[in-house]
């Protein structure tokens, strides 16, 4: 599904974010920036050890924060590591909103024109996919309605079920 938000394209795709040709891809990171399992592990495996080495130099960031590294062997040029909340830690909705917003702001600050985001925190961190879609899509749409240098924002969703949840939510958002 693809919609225009002012001068920016907002698109949903089902697929593997490590294969996305956008200028940057977002990693659903942990606060220590250790690329262990799940999406982070796939980024480490496909992108090579350079990404983890750069993360080690950065050392970490706060929950809701985002930092940038190069993307090693990935199709993208950069990886933005966004730290989403773990369910049960408190104030999860605000932290997920901040992780999304800080990813978009960092892309803008760095002059990045296209970015792919996953459904942050919905894997091992246990965040419900429906709540995630509401927060991430609303935050992104609101951000794109103000001045941004981004040309394209893609939500790359792993699995048909996740895609359909985001698709239904995006239809609701654009009908408001």
Q: What is the mean pLDDT of the chain?
A: 97
CATH number, residue 164: 3.40.220.10
Q: Which domain holds residue 19?
A: 2-174
69 Cα distance to chain centroid: 14
Domain count, the chain: 1
Q: What does the alpha-carbon distance between residue 17 and residue 34 come to, in Å, rounded to a whole number? A: 18
Residue that the structure tokens 């002012």 belong to: 6
Q: What is the pLDDT of residues 80-136, one digit of tens each?
A: 999 999 999 999 999 999 999 999 999 999 999 999 999 999 999 999 999 999 999
Q: What is the pLDDT of residues 151-163, one digit of tens each?
A: 999 999 999 999 9
pTM score of the predicted model = 0.97
Q: What does the alpha-carbon distance between residue 84 and residue 94 come to, in Å, rounded to a whole number? A: 10
């Amino acid at each position: 599904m693809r919609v225009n938000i002012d001068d920016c394209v907002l698109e949903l795709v089902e697929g593997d974010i490590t294969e996305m040709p956008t200028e940057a891809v977002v990693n659903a990171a942990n606060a220590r920036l250790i690329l262990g399992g799940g999406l982070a592990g796939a980024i480490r495996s496909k992108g090579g050890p350079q990404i983890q080495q750069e993360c080690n130099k950065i050392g970490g960031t706060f929950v809701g924060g985002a930092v940038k590294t190069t993307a090693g062997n990935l199709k993208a040029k950069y990886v933005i590591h966004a730290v989403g909340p773990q369910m049960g830690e408190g104030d999860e909705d605000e932290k997920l909103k901040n992780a999304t917003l800080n990813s978009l702001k960092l892309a803008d600050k760095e002059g990045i024109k296209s970015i792919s985001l996953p459904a942050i925190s919905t894997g091992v961190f246990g965040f419900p996919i429906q709540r995630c879609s509401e927060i991430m899509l609303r935050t992104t749409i609101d951000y794109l309605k103000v001045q941004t240098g981004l040309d394209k924002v893609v939500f790359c969703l792993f699995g048909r079920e996740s895609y359909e949840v985001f698709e239904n939510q995006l239809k609701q958002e654009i009908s408001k």
